[in-house]
A and B are shown apart, each in its own frame.
Chain A
């Protein structure tokens, strides 16, 4: 058998020392927000089940949902929905082969970040 020899290869930069860029951050935020939303989905389904069941069960679920912690989770989830929404639209645009120039992609990343905060505030004002 041939001897395996260690070859010095260039290593790609490790994630922790990699300079954060708008394109990479806006991409990973899409994944984080999308997956984190399962917490809100779980709470909402539980709250609906409690409402369908009895007064005492609803009192328990509603106390969690309307507590400061519930408000925090729901508000963060609201922002997560809007961020994921805008990032999803950006994906459809990317999929069509458009907006892939670095400058445009970075600008669209800022649109997602700033737009999601604006839409969150508007939604909070409407409810």
Chain B
């Protein structure tokens, strides 16, 4: 138990210890995604439903591979950070920590798998 006043605890980087970093990351990744998501939706929608050869051809194009890589990375990091906010609203204690670890692992696992698949297709 540290003898801190409520004010002292909130000073500097605050109770979370990271200040406005989380909020700023959501804005930053959100704006970045807003720039590329519309293009990705149409490009992905057109690739979906094709034969395997057509799909490989579509995703091996440099622009498509880079776009998809960015969407996978920032989309899933934006998801993990947003899901963490939800978890912090509804869960507490060990459940909270376990769920945050779970979404973090899930997001990095999907990012690594997606980027591996893209590399294999495009290179």
When the two chains form their complex, are residues A126 and B42 in contact, meaning their CB atoms are under 8 A apart? yes
Within 8 Å CB of B82, what residues of A? 31, 34-35
Give the contacting residue for A49; candidates B30, B37, B116; CB below 8 A.
B116
A contact face: mostly helix, strand, loop, or mixed? helix
When the two chains form their complex, are residues B117 and A66 in contact, meaning their CB atoms are under 8 A apart? no
With contact pairs A35-B82, A62-B52, A81-B37 given, residues A48 and B45 touching in the complex (Cβ less than 8 Å): no
When the two chains form their complex, are residues A48 and B37 in contact, meaning their CB atoms are under 8 A apart? no
When the two chains form their complex, are residues A45 and B117 in contact, meaning their CB atoms are under 8 A apart? yes
Count B-side interface residues using an 8 Å CB cutoff.
33
In the bound complex, how far is the Cα of B31 from the Cα of A92, in angstroms? Answer: 9
When the two chains form their complex, are residues B121 and A85 in contact, meaning their CB atoms are under 8 A apart? no
Within 8 Å CB of B49, what residues of A? 66
Chain A CB within 8 A of B67 CB: no
When the two chains form their complex, are residues A41 and B79 in contact, meaning their CB atoms are under 8 A apart? yes
When the two chains form their complex, are residues A58 and B52 in contact, meaning their CB atoms are under 8 A apart? yes
Nearest residue in A to B85 (C-beta to C-beta)?
A: A31
Closest Cβ of chain B to A15, distance in Å, is 12
Give the contacting residue for A41; candidates B30, B110, B121; CB below 8 A.
B110
When the two chains form their complex, are residues A37 and B117 in contact, meaning their CB atoms are under 8 A apart? no
Within 8 Å CB of A37, what residues of B? 75, 79
Besides A34-B83, A51-B55, 13 new A-B residue pairs in contact (Cβ under 8 A), listed by A number: A31-B82, A41-B76, A45-B113, A48-B59, A48-B68, A51-B52, A51-B59, A51-B117, A52-B120, A62-B55, A66-B49, A85-B37, A88-B34
**Interchain Cβ contacts under 8 Å between A and B, 15 examples:** A35-B82, A38-B79, A38-B106, A41-B72, A41-B79, A45-B114, A48-B117, A51-B52, A51-B55, A65-B48, A85-B34, A89-B34, A91-B30, A95-B27, A123-B45
**Interface positions of A (Cβ within 8 A of B):** 31, 34-35, 37-38, 41-42, 44-45, 48-49, 51-53, 55, 58-59, 62, 65-66, 74, 78, 81, 85, 88-89, 91-92, 95, 123-124, 126-127
